[in-house]
């Protein structure tokens, strides 16, 4: 039976929206998705909707969300989608119906007036940056650093809002505080837009420390990415960078032999700080010598005792700092010092937790050049989701263009613990059969001795020579991408084209802007280019998928999940590796057709899609 909300939403879409947006076509799958969202918002429950590109997903969930009058949190993974929701969709809906909405950002995006006024620039270049910032502080309404264009990240780190360095209602700037004013808006807004990271941090907080207001409905767009963002927030990262940024705040020996930092006027503490620093330095050397990059750390962890000792040394260093500084500092300095000490304490706590490990978590080292880190994340975030997220909302809606493999949602329901959820698959309104031509190239083995890379380079050069429009080449390995780039770059330049490579001279965002502005762009990209890229018309006519995007079997989370499945008698390849690869393939494939007028070719350079039985699963998933 059609619910009241469903009727209201349908009429709003058919009447208000179509009269306000000339030429707007209501799509069948959009109306269906809106009906399903209306029902679950009204009655409660969990709904997972996979809706292909072009469905008009955002209106399909926003219209019933707004009309319901309920408090709603919408979470996205990317900034692009947040900007679309706040700057376009919600703004437009609010012009037709009276309701409040807001965008919530992480605390460090806002200027802290107390820290700004307490800050004393010491270096010459700092003085001028500080003056510009001071001037901006008098003009800005929101205190959001995104509106401050002369960014000096070291300075902003020192004056951003920080929960450890906040006096809350006791602060003399509390009434003008940008962060707390923003939070008041979040409380008042009916629809609050956040990103997955902020949502996850909030979910981890105890009830009395939550950042986001309570809500009735939680909508997750780009839901395919919730698993990884949530897992990394639940987990622990111990890195050289994290430790050094705390220690440098306390005490840093500058090139000219001068000590700076919060403890610079406490010479008696210098040896204590330096001793902890060198103990930690030795520890990282032992990590590099004793552990292998990306190898799972098991219970008989050789560095366990050393880590526990270090956690103790850190705690005793904190005690010494606390005992030695009483009465030495003014109020603002003391707040900063307490904040740094709190962060150091958290580091010691995480070290202790990491040393012992936790049931259901996987630990591993990352030893890439100078970026040394130890990571620990839950093998599955499902226990956390069922205990902390599901009970907090009447209604949860998850949506994305890629959540199922041929209508089977097991991968996401299993990972997030949402076994009882209702699921829907809605096809894209585009005619993919008509709009896309698929070509499969055989005999390209990218694992071999380089011959395969030569063949791939030839495919790219042949396509480029046709000059049909922009080309996006998706890789699964940075190494293969770099080697291919070396083989094609000169020739592409000579053809008068604009080759660009992820991690090269241009930032990803700039590469996409260049690509949209021309029909001569060629992007070679890995990971992030498989999703979220939206280039239309002749700017993107050819998509080259270099390899089927299977997860790396040596990745710690992959090894750990495979083992869990194997132990419970399940088949890790068919229940995890294959569906994960198909979903990523669908994401990549979806880059080509972004509107009903787009046409183009997809060239797949991995013959397994034809020669292996499972190859059919990839092909079926895209039509
Ligand atoms: S209330 Fe906290 S965040 Fe706001 S100005 Fe004061 S110290 Fe800074």
- Amino acid 164: pLDDT: 94
The string of pLDDT tens digits covering residues 255-298 is: 777 888 888 888 888 999 999 999 999 999 999 999 999 999 98
- Amino acid 326: pLDDT: 65
Most confident range, picked from 1-15, 21-35, 186-200, 530-544: 186-200
Q: What is the pLDDT averaged over residues 190-206?
A: 97
CA distance 389 to 586: 28
Residue 115 Cα: closest atom of ligand 1: 8
**For residue 527, what pLDDT band results from cuts at 50, 70 and 90?**
confident
Ligand 1 pocket check for 118: Cβ under 6 Å: no
Q: What is the pLDDT averaged over residues 297-305?
A: 87
Q: Are 277 and 389 in contact (CB under 8 A)?
A: no
- Amino acid 153: pLDDT: 80
**582 vs 326, residue with greater confidence:** 582
CA distance 57 to 13: 13
Q: What is the mean pLDDT of the chain?
A: 93
Give the sign of the dihedral formed by CA 60, CA 406, CA 472, CA 576.
positive
Ligand 1 pocket check for 167: Cβ under 6 Å: yes
Ligand 1 pocket check for 112: Cβ under 6 Å: yes
**For residue 59, what pLDDT band results from cuts at 50, 70 and 90?**
very high
CA of 164 to the centre of ligand 1 (A): 10
Please determine, for residue 419, whether its predicted confidence score (pLDDT) is greater than 70: yes
Please determine, for residue 328, whether its predicted confidence score (pLDDT) is greater than 80: no
- Amino acid 325: pLDDT: 73
The string of pLDDT tens digits covering residues 461-488 is: 999 999 899 999 999 999 999 999 999 9
219 closest CA partner among 205, 199, 238, 239: 199
Q: What is the pLDDT averaged over residues 28-48?
A: 96
Residue 172 Cα: closest atom of ligand 1: 6
Who's near 253: CB < 8 A, 6+ residues apart?
Answer: 259
**How, if at all, do strands 361-368 and 371-378 pair?**
antiparallel
- Amino acid 397: pLDDT: 98
CA distance 236 to 46: 29
Q: What is the pLDDT averaged over residues 233-259?
A: 91
The string of pLDDT tens digits covering residues 339-366 is: 999 999 999 999 999 999 999 999 999 9
Who's near 34: CB < 8 A, 6+ residues apart?
Answer: 6, 9, 10, 13, 59, 60, 61, 63, 64
Q: What is the DSSP string of 147-170?
A: G--S--HHHHHHHB--GGG--GGG
CA distance 66 to 81: 18
Q: In terms of residues, how long is the chain?
A: 623
- Give burial (CB, 10 Å; 0-12/13-18/19+) of 536: middle
CA distance 48 to 40: 10
> Tokens for 565?
């499945």
CA distance 523 to 538: 14
Ligand 1 pocket check for 613: Cβ under 6 Å: no
Question: Where in the chain is CATH 3.40.50.300?
Answer: 4-106+182-231+380-426, 432-621
Q: Are 530 and 582 in contact (CB under 8 A)?
A: no
**For residue 1, what pLDDT band results from cuts at 50, 70 and 90?**
low
Specify the residue for token string 């495979």.
562
Q: What is the pLDDT averaged over residues 387-409?
A: 96
Sequence-separated contacts (24+) of 487-490 with Cβ below 8 Å = 487/453, 487/454, 487/457, 488/457, 488/460, 488/461, 488/464, 488/524
> Tokens for 139?
């003009």
**For residue 107, what pLDDT band results from cuts at 50, 70 and 90?**
very high
The string of pLDDT tens digits covering residues 209-235 is: 999 999 999 999 999 999 999 999 999
> Tokens for 434?
């008509």
Ligand 1 pocket check for 107: Cβ under 6 Å: no
Please determine, for residue 150, whether its predicted confidence score (pLDDT) is greater than 80: no
CA distance 125 to 133: 13
**For residue 453, what pLDDT band results from cuts at 50, 70 and 90?**
very high
Ligand 1 pocket check for 158: Cβ under 6 Å: no
Sequence-separated contacts (24+) of 258-265 with Cβ below 8 Å = 260/122, 262/333, 262/336, 262/337, 262/340, 263/321, 263/325, 263/337, 265/328
160 closest CA partner among 184, 175, 143: 143
**For residue 45, what pLDDT band results from cuts at 50, 70 and 90?**
very high
Half-sphere exposure of 143 toward its Cβ, with a 13 Å CA cutoff? 26
542 closest CA partner among 560, 561, 563, 519: 519
Give the residue, by CA position, lying nearest to ligand 1 atom 7: 166
Count CB-CB contacts under 10 A for residue 313: 17
CA of 168 to the centre of ligand 1 (A): 6
Q: What is the pLDDT averaged over residues 120-129?
A: 83
Ligand 1 pocket check for 174: Cβ under 6 Å: yes
CA of 172 to the centre of ligand 1 (A): 8
Q: What angle do CA 97, 99, 103 make, to 5 degrees?
A: 125
Residue to mutate, 105, 109, 156, 166, ligand 1, most ligand atoms under 8 Å from C-beta: 166
CA distance 485 to 504: 10
Q: Are 548 and 589 in contact (CB under 8 A)?
A: no
Q: Are 110 and 77 in contact (CB under 8 A)?
A: no
Residue 177 Cα: closest atom of ligand 1: 4
> What is the percent of the chain where pLDDT is above 90?
80
Please give the DSSP secondary-structure letter assigned to residue 405.
B
**Angle between the N-to-C axes of helices 304-324 and 270-290, in degrees from 0 to 180, rounded to the nearest 10:** 170
Cα-Cα-Cα-Cα torsion 180, 183, 185, 186, nearest 10 degrees, comes to 180
Half-sphere exposure of 129 toward its Cβ, with a 13 Å CA cutoff? 20
Ligand 1 pocket check for 113: Cβ under 6 Å: yes
Half-sphere exposure of 280 toward its Cβ, with a 13 Å CA cutoff? 26
Specify the residue for token string 């009204």.
42
Please determine, for residue 323, whether its predicted confidence score (pLDDT) is greater than 90: no
**503 vs 1, residue with greater confidence:** 503
CATH for 4-106+182-231+380-426, options being 3.60.15.10, 3.40.50.300, 3.40.50.10860, 3.40.50.1370: 3.40.50.300
CATH number of 432-621: 3.40.50.300
């Amino acid at each position: 039976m059609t619910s009241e909300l469903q009727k209201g939403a349908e009429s709003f879409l058919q009447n208000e929206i179509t009269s306000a947006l000339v030429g707007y076509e209501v799509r069948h799958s959009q109306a269906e998705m809106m009906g399903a969202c209306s029902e679950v918002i009204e009655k409660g429950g969990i709904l997972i909707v996979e809706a292909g590109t072009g469905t008009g997903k955002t209106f399909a969930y926003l219209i019933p969300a707004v009309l319901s009058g309920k408090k709603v949190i919408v979470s996205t993974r990317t900034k692009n989608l947040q900007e679309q929701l706040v700057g376009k969709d919600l703004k437009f809906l609010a012009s037709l119906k009276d309701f409040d909405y807001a965008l919530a950002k992480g605390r460090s995006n806002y200027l802290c007036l107390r820290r700004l006024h307490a800050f004393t620039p010491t270096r010459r270049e700092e003085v001028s940056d500080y003056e510009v910032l001071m001037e901006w502080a008098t003009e800005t309404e929101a205190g959001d650093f995104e509106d401050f264009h002369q960014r000096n990240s070291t300075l902003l780190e020192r004056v951003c809002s920080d929960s450890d360095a906040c006096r809350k209602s006791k602060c003399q700037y509390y009434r003008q505080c940008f962060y707390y004013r923003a939070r008041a808006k979040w409380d008042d807004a009916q629809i609050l837009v956040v990103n997955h990271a902020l949502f996850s941090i909030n979910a981890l907080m105890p009830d009395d420390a939550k950042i986001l207001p309570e809500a009735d409905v939680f909508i997750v767009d780009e839901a395919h990415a919730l698993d990884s963002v949530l897992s990394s927030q639940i987990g622990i990262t111990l890195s050289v960078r994290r430790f050094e940024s705390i220690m440098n705040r306390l005490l840093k020996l500058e090139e000219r032999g001068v000590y700076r930092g919060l403890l610079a006027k406490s010479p008696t503490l210098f040896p204590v700080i330096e001793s902890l620093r060198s103990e930690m330095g030795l520890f990282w050397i032992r990590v590099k010598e004793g552990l292998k990059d990306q190898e799972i750390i098991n219970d008989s962890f050789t560095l366990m005792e050393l880590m526990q000792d270090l956690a103790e040394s850190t705690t005793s260093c904190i005690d010494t700092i606390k005992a030695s500084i009483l009465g030495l500092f003014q109020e603002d300095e003391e707040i900063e010092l307490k904040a740094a000490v709190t962060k150091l304490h958290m580091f010691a706590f995480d070290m202790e937790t990491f040393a012992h490990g936790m049931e259901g978590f996987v630990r591993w080292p990352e030893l890439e050049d100078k970026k040394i880190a130890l990571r620990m994340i839950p093998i599955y975030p499902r226990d956390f989701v069922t205990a902390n997220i599901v009970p907090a909302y009447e209604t949860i809606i998850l949506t994305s263009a890629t959540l199922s493999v041929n209508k089977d949602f097991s991968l996401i329901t299993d990972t997030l613990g949402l076994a009882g959820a209702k699921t829907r698959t809605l096809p894209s309104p585009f005619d993919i059969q008509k709009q896309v031509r698929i070509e499969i190239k055989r005999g390209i083995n990218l694992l071999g001795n380089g011959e395969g890379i030569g063949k791939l380079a030839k495919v790219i050069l042949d396509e480029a020579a046709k000059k049909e429009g922009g080309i996006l080449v998706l890789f699964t390995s940075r190494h293969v991408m770099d080697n291919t780039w070396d083989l094609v770059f000169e020739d592409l330049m000579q053809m008068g084209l604009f080759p660009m490579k992820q991690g090269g001279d241009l930032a990803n965002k700039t590469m996409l802007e260049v690509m949209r502005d021309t029909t001569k762009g060629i992007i070679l990209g890995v990971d992030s280019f498989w999703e979220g890229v939206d280039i239309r018309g002749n700017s993107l006519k050819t998509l080259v998928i270099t390899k089927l995007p299977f997860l790396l079997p040596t990745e710690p989370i992959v090894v750990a999940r495979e083992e869990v499945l194997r132990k419970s008698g399940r088949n890790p390849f068919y229940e995890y590796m294959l569906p994960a690869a198909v979903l990523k393939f669908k994401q990549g494939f979806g880059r080509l057709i972004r509107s009903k007028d787009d046409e183009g070719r997809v060239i797949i350079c991995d013959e397994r899609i034809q020669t292996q039985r499972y190859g059919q699963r990839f092909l079926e998933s895209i039509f």
